[in-house]
Structure 1
Amino acid sequence: MTILRPAPAVQLHGYQQRWFLDRSRFKLGKFARQTGKTFTTTLEIVDDAFEHAMQERRTRWVILSRGERQAREAMQEGVFPHAKAYGMALEASEFDWVGDSGSHRALEVTLPGGSRITALPANPDTARGFSSNVFLDEFAFHKDSGAIWKALFPVISAGWKLRVTSTPNGKSGKFYELDTADDDVWSRHVVDIYQAVADGLPRNIEELRAGLADEDAWAQEYELQYLDEASSWLSYDLISSCEDEGAGKPEGYQGGPCFVGRDIGRRHDLHVIWVSELIGDVLWERERTEQKRATFADMDMAFDDVMLRYNVARACIDQTGMGEKVVEDAQRRYGGRVEGVLFTAASKLIMATQGKERFEDRRLRIPVGDVPLRSDLHKLRKVVGPTGVPRFVAERDDDHADRTWAIFLGINAAADLGRGAWRPVASGGGNTDHRDKDWIPA
């Protein structure tokens, strides 16, 4: 039977057409950022449902994304408009999918003929919960990708199709293993930014590269290089494990004690203020201020704003060089809550070690998908000099890991203080305004 498919909702570029028309059972796509990998794969999924409907049959697809937000976007920005373009009525629903790992919000559509498409966050539990065709979206960024794979593969072994797409995320994880394996099982597609633009994607490559201003990020996110993790202090996998959709949002502040890190920079480097709130024993990023070539007055105003809006228990400021006066002025205004930190080989080793331990223990939450921050964290490297003394370096571009050092300063502010409960102690005649409070362990 010949299936006459309608034209897709938008004109596909050459690389999208090749991916869409490849109906291999096992298909892996390594795509540059924002080149439409999710959009094109959800088009194939809807097309498959359309073909089954024309043959009076039904099919089943599950989309496993790195988080609930990404799963929802795959449905709302992919499946829904594609179904409309095909003239296929759909019934959409949401429900709590309950498994051994807890409850997960799932979105599901039912299409003509009874075909169903479900999207939900990926974990080993949801991976083994369905017998269906599967789309692993941004698989290199899935937590526990190896465990997800072990749970998933027996489920799809009975002839189901598997689609795996992602941008690289370092030389680790199941996506890296699948992409670099020497086999002929997988149909592999590679689309870097140069190929995408050559095939018609309207992007200004030089403008993108200059705007990103980070060669590591450009190499990984757009040129699809797997960066060497051997000398990086924080691997991309470790960084991704602490990303959370709730981090980086000031409106999420719950009124608890906060810890601030402030890295001083002016002409060549960034001035960064990092604010985290202690929830249990986890530091949640609430806000990050970045300034370049700002006056000292503007930098101090940004710091004062943070100190007024949050219950700051302690702030650690880079006191090196131009930071001497900055620390002195801040201590005059806020007293013992402000601590200056001189950047020496010893102090940087202590802060970097504390920071890495936070990442390894998952006692830190940073925003999801913040490319400059992720690249900044990854660029820090530990090297050993001729005297055997370790030191930390970062490649120079528009900054040298200023965001990372602001975070490490904030973690240092919470060191030895963040494992117990905290309570405010008012000073200055019992004034209850949090600006005049010190915080002490309860």
Structure 2
Amino acid sequence: MTSEPVATASPALQLYDYQRRWVQDESRFKIAMFARQCGKTFTSTLEIVLDCLRAESQGQRRRWVILSRGERQAREAMNEGVKLHLRGMQAGFKEYETPFDASVRSLEVELPGSSKITALPANPDTARGFSANVLLDEFAFHQDSRAIWRALFPVISKPGLKLRVISTPNGKGNKFFELMTGKDDGWSRHSTDIYQAVADGLPRDIEELRRGAGDEDLWAQEFELKWLDEASAWLSYELIHACEDDLAGLPQHYTGGPCYVGVDIGARNDLFVIWVIEQVGDVYWTREIIARKRVSFTQQDTLLAEVFERYRVLRACMDQTGMGEKPVEDAQRRHGSSRVEGVLFTAPNKLTLATLGKEAFEDRRIRIPAGDNVLRADLHKLRKETGPTGAPRFVAESDSAGHADRTWAAFLALNAAAGTGGPIEWRAVPTHPRGFDNLTGTAPRFAMRAEQQYAGDDLSPPESAATW
């Protein structure tokens, strides 16, 4: 425990306009998004200190609690916020550090008039532990944000208690998003992106920062305050729409050119998807997308065999992860190991597949069916996140429409096209119960001969764009 003397002098503190707007807003409930390193915790703890000092000058007491995402953040809010302001204003205080429970330590300062400010990590138990004014710091990143909210809100139900919520965005799956995007609910909302902060006087070189970031997703979320699932969507709606075409996805428009197939394996909740693309010049036209849910492996084998008969398939890439081992082995035995390649969905392989796929969309080298909202949502569902070690990873929410299964099938097909080795001899079959005559404008069906014209061992798969 330490004690610091009270002094009368207090130097003037210069605030930027966006900081002044936040501090001077006395609404009972207020919430804000600030760009990174724009002083959101500094500004919010300043309001807390000013509120306590104002109360003490009137012979009153204030009680504030800061709930942070972790102990380190709670310590920073106390040391680099609360104590910094108190020292700058030459206000006396005592500081304590005590156990809150077996795993949480409480950091506390007490002013001469018994006003107290406490900082500690947020969880449902700590949120229930006080009847006080509350600051939720970086609330979008709190674990169990909804449980914390349910535990917390009754705490500040007493008339006159204030609630402040600050954060940068972190997707739409948390309570911060709901609070920040609500309307007509009594909340005062503030939003300061990097452009507004600089316009209000913050000395930052925006272009230098953007170039230095080297990551558009990071820039969009941390500095432009875009929600994570929009900022980190691997394929934006703009990219998806740019590659749509009314003639894509219709088997009857197959011209007999070389085709490549991607297969994403699914047997229970996820979809089994076959994506067929035909190369026409330097563009890959989607000819057919087969998506089935809860189909047996026998049915999957049959669907894939029919695709090999219907199209001139040069190469197919299949998801070999987990339950995909046997389907890949069966497909290689039936269609040739030089035409069927299994791909393990390891983190590096998924990054390679996703990068190859995104480049095809950015360069408009793929055509996909137009106006298919389910397909659009599937392609937009895949997100890139940064893992605990800093390595990128790809995630997608699972729902009744799948788990970005169509997207991975498309990327596998594009990967198959990137690693072809040579032509396949084929001959058209003019009639078939499910085939059509090319002269009528409907889809021909092809019987494939297994011989590949590779130099060397014809049983070896062609060299892929990546090492799997």
TM-score computed with the length of structure 2 as normaliser: 0.51
Alignment partners' CA distance in 1, 2:15 and 2:69: 25
Match of 1:154 in 2: 154
Cα drift, residue 106 of structure 1: 1.1
Alignment partners' CA distance in 2, 1:203 and 1:392: 44
8 Å contact from structure 2 (residues 68, 136) kept in 1: yes
Match of 1:42 in 2: 45
1:62 aligns with 2:59: no
Pick aligned residue for 2:93 from 87, 90, 95: 90
Alignment partners' CA distance in 2, 1:351 and 1:38: 37
Q: Residue 43 of structure 2 aligns to which amino acid in structure 1?
A: T
1:132 aligns with 2:135: no
Deviations 1:311-343 (A, max 9, x none): xxxxxxxxxxxxxxxxxxxxxxxxxxxxxxxxx
SS in 1 for 2:113: helix
Pick aligned residue for 1:366 from 368, 388, 400: 388
Match of 1:422 in 2: none
Alignment partners' CA distance in 2, 1:33 and 1:350: 28
Which structure 2 residue ranges, 5 or more long, are not aligned? 1-7, 235-340, 351-385, 398-402, 415-468
Cα drift, residue 230 of structure 1: 11
- For residues 185-196 of structure 1, the aligned pairs below 5 Å read 185-196=186-197
In the alignment of these two chains, the number of paired residues is: 260
**What is the CA RMSD across the aligned residues, in angstroms?**
3.1
Alignment partners' CA distance in 1, 2:86 and 2:203: 25
1:223 aligns with 2:224: yes
- For residues 372-391 of structure 1, the aligned pairs below 5 Å read 373=390, 376-377=392-393, 388=409, 391=412
SS in 1 for 2:393: helix
Deviations 1:334-358 (A, max 9, x none): xxxxxxxxxx7621269889xxxxx
Task: Sort the Cα spacing of 1:149 and 1:387 in 2 relative to 1 into closer, same or farther, 3 A.
Answer: closer
Match of 1:111 in 2: 111
8 Å contact from structure 2 (residues 347, 393) kept in 1: no
8 Å contact from structure 1 (residues 28, 163) kept in 2: yes
8 Å contact from structure 1 (residues 171, 226) kept in 2: yes
- For residues 174-189 of structure 1, the aligned pairs below 5 Å read 174-189=175-190
Task: Sort the Cα spacing of 1:184 and 1:345 in 2 relative to 1 into closer, same or farther, 3 A.
Answer: farther
Deviations 1:41-91 (A, max 9, x none): 100000001011110110100000001011001111111121122221000
SS in 2 for 1:228: helix
Task: Sort the Cα spacing of 1:144 and 1:138 in 2 relative to 1 into closer, same or farther, 3 A.
Answer: same
TM-score computed with the length of structure 1 as normaliser: 0.54
Cα drift, residue 103 of structure 1: 2.8
Alignment partners' CA distance in 1, 2:28 and 2:211: 39
1:21 aligns with 2:24: yes
Cα drift, residue 147 of structure 1: 0.2
Alignment partners' CA distance in 1, 2:170 and 2:90: 37
SS in 2 for 1:11: coil
Alignment partners' CA distance in 1, 2:219 and 2:231: 19
Match of 1:347 in 2: 344
Q: Residue 148 of structure 2 aligns to which amino acid in structure 1?
A: I
SS in 2 for 1:35: coil
Alignment partners' CA distance in 1, 2:394 and 2:202: 29
Task: Sort the Cα spacing of 1:35 and 1:9 in 2 relative to 1 into closer, same or farther, 3 A.
Answer: farther
Q: Residue 178 of structure 1 aligns to which amino acid in structure 2?
A: L
Q: Residue 170 of structure 1 aligns to which amino acid in structure 2?
A: G
8 Å contact from structure 2 (residues 172, 229) kept in 1: yes
Q: Residue 225 of structure 1 aligns to which amino acid in structure 2?
A: K
SS in 2 for 1:377: strand
Deviations 1:98-133 (A, max 9, x none): 2xxx43011100012110000000000000000000
Q: Residue 116 of structure 2 aligns to which amino acid in structure 1?
A: R
Q: Residue 164 of structure 1 aligns to which amino acid in structure 2?
A: V
Cα drift, residue 217 of structure 1: 1.1
SS in 2 for 1:103: coil
Q: Residue 153 of structure 2 aligns to which amino acid in structure 1?
A: F
Pick aligned residue for 1:51 from 50, 54, 60: 54
Cα drift, residue 19 of structure 1: 0.4
SS in 2 for 1:106: strand
Cα drift, residue 377 of structure 1: 3.0
SS in 2 for 1:109: strand
8 Å contact from structure 1 (residues 171, 229) kept in 2: no
SS in 2 for 1:117: strand
Which structure 1 residue ranges, 5 or more long, are not aligned? 234-343, 354-363, 368-372, 394-442
Cα drift, residue 172 of structure 1: 1.4
Q: Residue 32 of structure 2 aligns to which amino acid in structure 1?
A: G
8 Å contact from structure 2 (residues 387, 393) kept in 1: no
Q: Which of structures 1 and 2 has the bigger CA Rg?
A: 2
8 Å contact from structure 2 (residues 220, 231) kept in 1: no
